[in-house]
Structure 1
Amino acid sequence: MRLALHWQILIALLLAVIMGTWTGTEGTIGGIHWLAIYTFIGTLFLNALKMIVVPLVVSAIITGISNIGENGGFGRLGLKTLSYYLLTSLIAIIIGLTMVNMIQPGVSEGPPPEIVAEESVMSAVEGKSAGDVVEVFLRMIPTNIVDAAAEGQMLGLIFFSLLFGFFMTQIKGGGAETLKNFWQGVFDVMMLMTTLIMKFAPIGVFGLVAASVAKTGFEQFDNLALFFITVTGALLIHFAVAMPLILRFLGGVKNPWLHYQAMTPALLTAFSTSSSSSTLPVTINALEHRAGVSNRVSSFVLPLGATVNMDGTALYECVAAIFIAQLFGVPLDLGTQLLIVLIALTTSIGVAGIPSASLVAISIILVAVGLPAEAIGLLLVVDRILDMMRTAVNVFSDSVGAAVIARSEGEKHVLTTKTF
């Protein structure tokens, strides 16, 4: 009997922690550093996932929209999807805001810490302000769709694919059927490629996590332990309390635990890669074949969610900004905290598709409330593992949204029995 994929990935995670801790950055075998081996394996797997993201997203959205358009449900499904994204992101931010005010991880009797900003951080956040959110939304309409695909500008690709899929349903004759068959064929091929790549997921996950553990270790969390605990606790509440309640009361799912089981491969991949977009092929595969959600819903909700629905990121931005304010002894009244909530909600939607997304978003919040953007450097010690956690929460929220929306569309078989 072959071991299930999620167990293979879990074993790979444990082995990665052991090997990464044992070898560190200096360990060698045959004159080759173990870290180089881990990095090669992890990068190869990540590249394979990234390779299929653009054609998968484009074909998934176009086929999804064409199927929805034929049934006249485009507007209804879009409204449900966006409403869900706004609701869950707001819930996540409120949970983070409550936790950081209760625990107050940055409150200290000592002097404010010295700011030592790394060049890479400053180059990512330099000159950022709340006005940059507008620039990000301009990327929704790319001047060149080929360049957008090459540069991985997912917001522009999604907007183009939505328009293409919608207007594909407006043409008559054989051209419409030809286009529909073409894009359905592309999507089917991409799913087969996803299945192949996922067979190597345990090896790829091992490389990614072992490299991360080898470079960062665990001893560096001492100085920011309380901040780490605050963010982790808030993410856990959203993941283990808010999400199952949404499944139960909005989706009518009697046993939310079935969804956790169904999404295990996607969650472990998200945790390992720290990328919602790279995890998208795995998420679609798990949702359709393990949770029972139709392609009609998953191909619309998930690609959009992987770009604009970032519950974990929004939560982290809010906690990080208030934590830094506490460190520097800057009191934040209710109005300022509500401003942080609003900017965190906006940037979690708009900034997600650009490099160093969370760093840019946090810098926008800090500048808006009068704090030094350079203070972001203080978070780097614990950012990597928190990034892994919040990505898993982002992906899970996307999948919950797809399940809830599928149930609201009359798909009563979703998450009724274990199908894997």
Structure 2
Amino acid sequence: MSQATRILLSLIVGLIIGVGAAALAPDRAQGAIGWVQPIGTAWLNGLRMTIVPLVVSLLITGIGQTAAIARASTLATRTILLFIALLWLSSALGAILTPTLLAWFPLPADSAAALRDTFSAAKPVGDIPPFADFLVAMVPTNPLASAAHDDFLPLIVFTTVFAFAVTRLPEGPRDTLLAFFQALADAMLVVINWVLLLAPIGVLALAYVVGAKTGTAAVGALFHYILIIAGVGALLSLLAYPLALIGGRVPLGMFARATAPSQAVAISTQSSLASLPAMLRGVEKVGLPVSTSGVVLPMAVAIFRFTGPCMNVGVAIYIAHVFGIHLGPAQYAAGIAAAAITTMGAVSLPGQISYVSSIAPIAIAMGVPIEPLALLVAVETMPDLVRTIGNVTMNVAVTTVVSERIGGTRSEADELLDHGA
């Protein structure tokens, strides 16, 4: 049984036990909350303790690896710049589309109250300055203090600048620093995998509290969450079709036929990497040269996740909606920046790990509580499926754009392949 399945089953079992206990013995069910809730809180704290070192190390190594690919040729550099532009676009559109969908399809009041009651101890975090001071506040005077106080946006800015500075060092010191942060990231991944082994217990405890406090009302909130977040990813994934048509000059019908096999593989495997062979065959049918697609698609699978920023910032906005937190321009700007930047460091992580390590910094940067993430991660299976399908579709679309608009000589492509891109 996969880890995601175990976590989902724990959620279902916990809700059933909580709802049943509240119906049969309300007083005892409420009394048990004081014993059960600390278990879920302790598990969440186990996840939280890894976030700062994991995000910092992954961001540094991610930028270092991306810079190494970019140095290989002009084709790689231009392709990566296109990736970055699309990631920022995804983040900005996610910040626009999510509140729009929530305005059209708001969460029922009783369901929102159910989630708020479950995480009644959760409070807004971080210190978001007024918009006039936003740019000044982005530059930390003390990065260690930013990390200690969960001021993620200044920390991300410093880490990004530091990572680019590392790429300018001579080869020896650069490789030493990158190896150190890679080892730190690997160690944090071991720790977080240990914590995730206990996820069924933590989620079971949290789900019991939800069921005992709110009955079945929270179930509606979870379904609403899935529909909104999956809807954001699905709608933005549709941008791949006009991008291929306008940027890649590929007719819509031809593009749809070329991407259908890789989308089918994505549905069955939930893996962009497993879909790579089908993507390569699809672009070959479109008529793209192997010298371009053989480079761009592996790069896209390795460092490009278009649906990541839009859906990640969407989760943070959804939590703010549940808690009735008003998000101003500074909060949205912080979320957009955090979502676009942290995606570069989290693309190769398993779903449950990337969910926490990617969304928690965004939520903290926006001043949004992260406690609900411990429960929402249990229903990430369906949104994650949408993420994978959208990423695969956009990867093919970007390849058509690179082939048509950016190009590159065969010698450049061969050189990139020799470098392992």
With structure 1 as the length reference, what TM-score do the two structures score? 0.54
- Alignment pair present for 1:389 and 2:393: no
One-letter identity of the residue aligned with 2:105: I
- Alignment pair present for 1:266 and 2:262: yes
- Alignment pair present for 1:249 and 2:255: no
Query: What is the CA-CA distance between 1:114 and the residue it aligns to?
Result: 1.4
- Alignment pair present for 1:113 and 2:107: no
How far apart in 2 are the matches of 1:275 and 1:131? 32
How far apart in 2 are the matches of 1:375 and 1:222? 15
Query: What is the CA-CA distance between 1:151 and the residue it aligns to?
Result: 11
Whether contact under 8 Å (2:306, 2:391) holds in the other structure is: yes
Query: What is the CA-CA distance between 1:281 and the residue it aligns to?
Result: 3.0
SS at 1:365 equivalent: helix
How far apart in 1 are the matches of 2:181 and 2:103? 40
Counterparts of residues 148-297 of structure 1 (less than 5 Å): 222-240=220-238, 242-253=239-250, 255-276=251-272, 278-279=273-274, 281-297=276-292
How far apart in 1 are the matches of 2:108 and 2:240? 28
- Alignment pair present for 1:359 and 2:356: yes
How far apart in 2 are the matches of 1:142 and 1:287? 37
Counterparts of residues 51-130 of structure 1 (less than 5 Å): 69=73, 73=75, 75-88=77-90, 90-105=92-107, 110=113, 112-115=116-119, 129-130=152-153
What is the CA RMSD across the aligned residues, in angstroms?
Answer: 4.4
How far apart in 1 are the matches of 2:292 and 2:87? 15
In percent, how many aligned pairs have the same letter?
A: 20
Query: What is the CA-CA distance between 1:116 and the residue it aligns to?
Result: 10
Q: 1:131/1:351 Cα in 2 relative to 1: closer, same or farther (>3 Å)?
A: farther
SS at 2:230 equivalent: helix
Map of 2:325 onto structure 1: 330
Unmatched segments (≥5 aa) in structure 1: 1-20, 26-57, 118-125, 154-218, 412-420
How far apart in 2 are the matches of 1:397 and 1:381? 26
Query: What is the CA-CA distance between 1:130 and the residue it aligns to?
Result: 4.1
With structure 2 as the length reference, what TM-score do the two structures score? 0.54
Whether contact under 8 Å (1:142, 1:148) holds in the other structure is: no
One-letter identity of the residue aligned with 2:320: A
Aligned length: 279
Q: 1:142/1:322 Cα in 2 relative to 1: closer, same or farther (>3 Å)?
A: farther
Query: What is the CA-CA distance between 1:375 and the residue it aligns to?
Result: 1.8
How far apart in 1 are the matches of 2:232 and 2:342? 19
Deviations 1:232-291 (A, max 9, x none): 322222223x222222222222x2132222122222222333333x33532542344333
SS at 1:262 equivalent: helix
Unmatched segments (≥5 aa) in structure 2: 1-8, 14-64, 122-147, 168-173, 187-215, 409-421
Deviations 1:160-182 (A, max 9, x none): xxxxxxxxxxxxxxxxxxxxxxx
Counterparts of residues 9-48 of structure 1 (less than 5 Å): none
One-letter identity of the residue aligned with 1:110: A
| The structure with more helix, counted as a fraction of residues | 2
